[in-house]
């Protein structure tokens, strides 16, 4: 009598999500920046938009990026991680572009944005945050590839080709896929 196959995921493995461990700190910081940038942009746009429209619109855009990053890191699904990768990349490009622009042409920024001076008004956190976000996402992308490689071993491929029926002994690759040692 054949022994039932265990789940391809080991029971003790961490959840496949970016919201574990240091990811929680990242989400908290992104949430704080989403809240502060949204509040700042909202007040600036409603009370003194004509003073520095470019700066205030860029702050509103930064707020949207922070909200998107917060939500996608918190969701943590594979699709959300792809969106988080895009939002962190846009954020990093925005910080670099606006930071350079605000230093090269200060007259264009009579009032600072979140990303002005590479985020100097916020302790350069806007410059460092997307880098940490991208590194965290890279870690999860590597984990996902490793899991796919382990699960799609030669034994699993043979089982899939034969319609899911196990016709042989359990090999080493099946033990790794089952999570048994």
The structural domains of the chain, with segments of one domain joined by +, span 22-137
| CA within 13 Å, CB half, 79 | 0
Long-range contacts of 106-109 (CB under 8 A, 24+ apart): 108/54, 108/55, 109/52, 109/54, 109/55
Q: What is the pTM of this model?
A: 0.70
- What is the predicted pLDDT for the residue at 175? 44
Summarised one tens digit per residue, pLDDT across range 4-23 is 555 454 443 345 567 678 88
> Residue 44's pLDDT band (boundaries 50, 70, 90)?
very high
Q: How far apart are CA 178 and CA 12, in angstroms?
A: 12
- Alpha helices (H) along 7-153: 22-48, 53-75, 78-104, 125-151
pLDDT at 161 over 70: no
pLDDT tens-digit readout, 67-116: 999 999 999 889 999 999 999 999 999 999 999 999 999 998 999 899 99
Share of the chain above pLDDT 70, in %: 66
> What does the pLDDT read at residue 92?
98
Q: What is the pLDDT of residue 178?
A: 47
Give yes or no for residue 166 having a pLDDT over 70: no
Q: Please state, in angstroms and rounded to a whole number, the distance separating the CA atoms of residues 79 and 89.
A: 16
Q: Report the alpha-carbon distance of residue 98 to residue 58 in Å, rounded.
A: 8
Average pLDDT over residues 119-125: 93
CA distance 88 to 68: 9
What's the rounded Cα separation, in Å, for the pair 59 and 113? 5
């Amino acid at each position: 009598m054949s022994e039932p196959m265990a789940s391809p995921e080991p029971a003790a493995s961490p959840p496949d999500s970016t919201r574990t461990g240091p990811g929680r700190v990242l989400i908290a910081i992104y949430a704080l920046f989403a809240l502060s940038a949204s509040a700042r942009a909202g007040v600036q746009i409603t009370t003194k938009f004509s003073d520095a429209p470019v700066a205030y619109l860029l702050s509103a855009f930064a707020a949207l990026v922070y909200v998107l990053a917060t939500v996608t890191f918190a969701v943590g699904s594979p699709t959300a991680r792809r969106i988080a990768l895009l939002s962190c990349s846009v954020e990093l490009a925005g910080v670099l572009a606006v930071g350079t622009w605000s230093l090269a042409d200060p007259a264009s920024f009579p009032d600072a944005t979140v990303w002005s001076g590479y985020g100097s008004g916020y302790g350069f956190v806007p410059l460092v945050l997307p880098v940490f976000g991208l590194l965290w996402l890279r870690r999860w992308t590597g984990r996902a590839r490793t899991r796919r490689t382990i699960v799609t071993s030669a034994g699993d491929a043979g089982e899939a080709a034969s319609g899911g029926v196990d016709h042989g002994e359990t090999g080493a690759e099946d033990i790794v896929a089952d999570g048994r040692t």
